[in-house]
DNA sequence: TAGAGCCTGGACAACGTTGTCAGCGTCGGG
DNA sequence: CCCGACGCTGACAACGTTGTCCAGGCTCTA
């Protein structure tokens, strides 16, 4: 569980209660924040304190803080003054408890450090911001249990909605949450065993395009290196590869396909194997950005030129020799579309779950146009 | 304000209250979630509901949910059963209100889509996770007002701590928050007018190293293209440039220095200007990853070879022709160090604010070793 | 078998905010 | 001069959870 490893303790266990004069009891232990006289760790002024200082009622403070009408300018001034003096800041936890909405959404993705997810996350954040919501991120590290743990932690926080890039393939655990009104959109990969909104790229079509491009330039022995086949995108791209090959009447050898973790070591080995032997591949189609980068490194050391088309665009791809031809998907558009759909769910303007597929784009830069070298 | 633009409304404004039988009144309007009979938007079971169904007291449910001792296995089973049946999930807002800690921290950075901040953010998340906390992200877009708005929104959520990559240069607005016990660490750039923990890279030293490297390879007319001078890192790197030049006894021409937004268009123009004229620069030192990428593009079209050293490492830098020599800073280490310090503040094991400087590393790959081409 | 002590369970208050509603004073009109 | 209306203010309950504290039933021992 998330809080099992927590090493900092809830404040109740260390902070004595207020005494009955309304003043606070200062703890004997020396704390970092003792530098600031008159305040104490975790002991913030409340509306009650503000009201007392301004000599008004609790509700009047609330009205001022929320800009509600019905307060005399003079009263408002007094309240504002008290707020400034005490450094009061409304406690949104209490507000949320009362109002029922948190104005925050959760985003669970694989790895925030991956250049594909950064722009996606930023796009979700921008849409959230436009709707006045904050974004809570979590990285699942491609682990189904961790995904579930994160998602449920977010639900416990009562996020209004969830954008999930699934790591697992069974999301029935989300059913009670969705029933209870948590808006949910899956991105990049479909949800498992559950009826929900999904926004994905055209992985199948994109892979078809990429492989056909290689075929059109004369290649027949084309390798495919992709992610673990249990990941939906990887499976779809493999299917695209197979379909393109089949359509061209090219039988696919088992040795040409390598699926597995995108760990550089494995990918490097896979690439080297395809490139050696009596009938080496003359072109490689790579299943995602991480694989592409590793394969580029392998090809840079390889004697013969080998054609390459990669799924996902990568920075500086145009400046390499040759430029790297890619099937680009629009990460920001994925995130934006998903987030917009999420808020339409929250607006109530959406009725039935839908599957939205965003097109991919083949960007030719040279590496895919190399002729077969044999 | 954050919630000014909100288009989805708090639930109280649309959901009628429970009637006195304890059953819920179903609203007339047709909602998406009407698909799920018996439940309604935002209407979740509470511990009270669970207790009623299991035929136990409220506190007993609380004990089961929190794994506290003192519950018969049989009772626990009944409670678990009720939890499952109702799809109960503890409301952390209420919990937070009661306990005073949210087990979440905020991270405000410039742009999550920037490849420099992705790993940093991920590192912060990992540390947070190890301490049982969630991470709330916000992008300031390099705008001081937006930074403040985000930070204060996070404070209103009562995050336990804040990791801030400052956009503005005055953080006195944080004083009441810090006084009230919000742990705070600034990363990448120091805080303005406030005494707080800071974790930065050795921008000055790194820039010195990079420029000295160029000087050592025979360059004297060296250009500097950097970010806006009001950004601390940019100023420090400029200072490193000037110092290295001065130490080598090289007078710096104004035309060699260009500071401003990292917009590709401006950077491109700046680079072209330095490279033209009667006394063009023979080498360029770039102030960050975005500038470096743009300058690489300019140099790729340039007739003469021009030496280049960039601040920040970039992916695939080793595969370009020539490889790009960089002064690398460790974004993940910055994030990790800052987050660890944050939780040490929360543990109470930290006394005084400190400034921590992480070293940079010169990585030579070729572009910095080109001799002057004239 | 009575008394002591332990274990389990539940009633209750409190966390800080917001919605409801009622009270109070003032002002204008009848 | 009285009454209604209106503008402003504040008392109070409720949101869902957890900590405190006490009651009741049990076991164990003398």
Yes or no, beta carbons of B315 and A296 under 8 Å apart: no
Tokens 């960050």 -> residue? B288
* B201 in contact with A, Cβ within 8 Å: no
Residues of chain A found within 8 Å of residue B100, distances taken between Cβ atoms: 10-12, 15, 42
Asked if residue A1 belongs to a domain, the reply is no
pLDDT bucket at B253, cuts 50 / 70 / 90: very high
Would you call B180 and A43 a contact, using CB atoms and an 8 Å cutoff? yes
User: What are the two backbone dihedrals, phi and then psi, of residue B23, each rounded to the nearest 5 degrees?
Assistant: -80, 165
SS3 B298: helix
C-alpha A299 chain-centroid distance: 31
Amino acid A172: pLDDT: 94
Q: Is residue B347 part of a domain?
A: yes
Instruction: Measure the CA–CA gap between A102 and A104, rounded to whole angstroms.
Output: 5
Share of residues in chain A with pLDDT > 70 (%)? 89
CB contact under 8 A, B92 and A351: no
The Cα B73–Cα B78 span in angstroms is 9
String of b and e for A302-338 (b: at least 16 CB within 10 Å)? beeebbbbbbbbbebbbbbebbbbbbbbbbbbbbbbb
* Range A312-329 average pLDDT: 94
Same domain, B121 and B261: no
Distance in Å from D13's C1' to A59's CA comes to 13
Nucleotides of chain C within 7 Å of a protein C-beta? 7-20
A140 belongs to a structural domain: yes
What does the mean pLDDT of chain B come to?
86
The alpha carbon dihedral of B323, B325, B326, B330 has a sign of positive
For residue B25, is pLDDT > 90? no
The span from the CA of B51 to the CA of B33, in Å, is: 25
What integer pLDDT is reported at residue B335 of this predicted model?
Answer: 97
Tell whether A136 and A195 lie within a shared domain: yes
Last residue of a domain, one of B329, B346, B367: B329
Nucleic strand C near CB of residue A23 (< 7 Å): no
- Examine residue B157 and state whether it is found in any structural domain, yes or no: yes
Q: What is the C-alpha R_g of chain B?
A: 28
Per-residue pLDDT tens digits for A184-241: 999 999 998 999 999 999 999 999 999 999 999 999 999 999 999 999 999 999 999 9
Mean pLDDT of B25-48: 45
pLDDT at B374: 67
Find the range with the poorest average confidence among A41-50, A183-192, A284-293, B212-221: A41-50
pLDDT of residue A150: 93
Domain of B64, in residue numbers = 2-97
Question: Is A5's pLDDT higher than 50?
Answer: no
Same domain (yes/no): B316, B287: yes
Would the pLDDT of A73 be above 90? no
Quick one: residue B88, left, alpha or beta (phi over 0 = left, psi -120 to 50 = alpha)?
Answer: beta
For the domain that residue A52 is a member of, what is the CATH number?
1.10.260.40
B contact residues 300-329, partner A, Cβ 8 Å cutoff: 300, 314-317, 319-321
Q: Does residue A350 form part of some domain?
A: yes
Distance B98 CA to C15 C1' (A): 5
Q: Could you tell me the CATH number of the domain that includes residue B311? A: 3.40.50.2300
Is the pLDDT at B23 greater than 60? The verdict is: no
pLDDT score of A335: 97
Nearest to A281 by CA among A321, A230, A241: A241
Task: Mark the nucleotides of strand D covered by protein, meaning any atom under 7 Å from a CB.
Answer: 7-20
Are residue A213 and residue A322 in the same domain, yes or no? yes
Q: Which of A179, A300, A332 sits opposite B319 (nearest CB)?
A: A300
Q: Are B208 and B313 found together in one domain?
A: yes
What are the chain B neighbours of A302 within 8 Å (beta carbons)?
Answer: none
B368 falls within a domain:
no
Residues B150-195: tens digit of each pLDDT: 999 999 999 999 999 999 999 999 998 998 889 999 999 999 899 9
pLDDT digits over B338-365, tens only? 999 999 999 888 779 999 999 999 999 9
pLDDT of residue B100 exceeding 90, the answer is no
Tell me the range of A13-17, A54-58, B328-332 where mean pLDDT is highest.
B328-332
- Higher-confidence residue: B195 or B43? B195
On whether both A127 and A139 belong to a single domain, the answer is: yes
The answer to whether residue B336 sits within a structural domain is: yes
Q: What's the pLDDT score for residue A374?
A: 67
Is A70 in the same domain as A167? no
Residue A351 and residue A311 share a domain: no
Q: Percent of chain B at pLDDT above 90? A: 72
In this structure, the answer to whether residues A115 and A195 fall within a common structural domain is yes
How many domains is chain B built from?
Answer: 3
More confident residue, B159 or B69: B159
pLDDT band, residue A14 (cuts 50/70/90): very low
- Alpha-carbon distance of A121 to B119, in angstroms, equals 13
Taking residues B229-249, what's their average pLDDT?
96
pLDDT band at A10 (very low <50, low <70, confident <90, very high): very low
Of B43, B62, B97, the domain-final residue: B97
- Inspect the interface and report whether the beta carbons of B15 and A92 lie closer than 8 Å: no
- Percent above pLDDT 70 for chain B: 89
Instruction: State the Cα angle at B187 between B207 and A92, rounded to 5°.
Output: 160
Whether the pLDDT of residue B10 is over 60: the answer is: no
Q: How confident is residue B8, by pLDDT bands cut at 50, 70 and 90?
A: low
Do both B256 and B313 map to the same domain? Answer: yes
Q: B40 pLDDT band (50/70/90 cuts)?
A: very low
* Nearest beta carbon to residue A32 from set B111, B113, B350: B350
- A134 in the same domain as A31: no
The mean per-residue pLDDT over the stretch B269-278 comes to 94
At A94 the three-state DSSP class reads: helix
Q: Is B346 at the interface with chain A, CB within 8 A?
A: yes
Q: Could you say which of A97, A117, A138 is where a domain stops?
A: A97
Q: Within this chain, do residues B58 and B107 fall inside the same structural domain, yes or no? A: no
User: Could you tell me if A17 lies within 8 Å of chain B, comparing CB atoms?
Assistant: no
A108-145 confidence digits (pLDDT tens): 999 999 999 999 999 999 999 999 999 999 999 999 99
In a domain, A366, yes or no: no
Nearest-10 crossing angle of helices B58-65, B73-86: 90
pLDDT, tens digit, for every residue of A251-303? 999 999 999 999 999 999 999 999 998 889 999 999 999 999 999 999 999 99
Is pTM, for the whole model, over 0.75? yes
Question: CB-based burial of residue A49 (10 Å sphere; 0-12 exposed, 13-18 middle, 19+ buried)?
Answer: middle
Q: What is the pLDDT of residue A18?
A: 29
Q: pLDDT band at residue A68, thresholds of 50, 70 and 90?
A: confident
């Amino acid at each position: 569980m998330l809080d099992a490893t927590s090493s900092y303790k809830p404040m109740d266990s260390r902070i004595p209660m207020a005494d009955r004069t309304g003043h606070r009891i200062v703890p004997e232990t020396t704390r970092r924040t003792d530098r600031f006289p008159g305040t104490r760790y975790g002991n913030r002024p409340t509306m009650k304190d503000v009201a007392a200082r301004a000599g008004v009622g609790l509700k009047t403070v609330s009205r001022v803080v929320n800009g509600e009408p019905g307060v005399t300018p003079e009263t408002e001034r007094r309240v504002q003054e008290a707020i400034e003096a005490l450094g009061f800041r409304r406690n949104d936890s209490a507000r949320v408890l009362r109002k029922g909405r948190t104005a925050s959404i959760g985003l669970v993705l694989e790895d925030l450090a991956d250049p594909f997810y950064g722009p996606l996350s930023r796009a979700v954040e921008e849409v959230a911001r436009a709707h006045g919501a904050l974004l809570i991120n979590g990285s699942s590290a491609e682990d189904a249990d961790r995904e579930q743990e994160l998602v449920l932690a977010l639900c416990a926080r009562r996020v209004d909605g969830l954008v999930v890039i699934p790591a697992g393939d069974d999301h029935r655990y989300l059913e009670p949450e969705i029933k209870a009104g948590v808006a949910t959109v899956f991105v990049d990969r479909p949800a498992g065993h559950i009826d929900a909104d999904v926004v994905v790229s055209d992985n199948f079509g994109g892979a078809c395009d990429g492989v056909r491009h290689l075929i059109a330039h004369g290649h027949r022995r084309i390798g495919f290196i992709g992610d673990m086949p249990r990941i939906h995108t990887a499976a779809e791209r493999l299917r695209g590869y197979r379909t393109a090959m089949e359509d061209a009447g090219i039988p696919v050898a088992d040795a040409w396909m390598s699926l597995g973790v995108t760990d550089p070591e494995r990918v490097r080995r896979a690439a080297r194997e395809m490139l050696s032997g009596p009938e080496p591949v003359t072109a490689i189609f790579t299943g995602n950005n991480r694989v592409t980068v590793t394969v580029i490194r392998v090809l840079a050391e390889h004697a013969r030129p080998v054609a390459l088309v990669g799924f996902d665009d990568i920075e500086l791809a145009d400046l390499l020799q040759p430029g790297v031809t890619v099937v680009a998907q629009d990460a920001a558009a994925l995130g934006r579309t998903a987030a917009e759909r999420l808020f339409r769910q929250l607006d109530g303007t959406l009725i039935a779950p839908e599957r939205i597929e965003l097109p991919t784009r083949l960007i030719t830069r040279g590496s895919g146009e190399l002729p077969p070298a044999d």
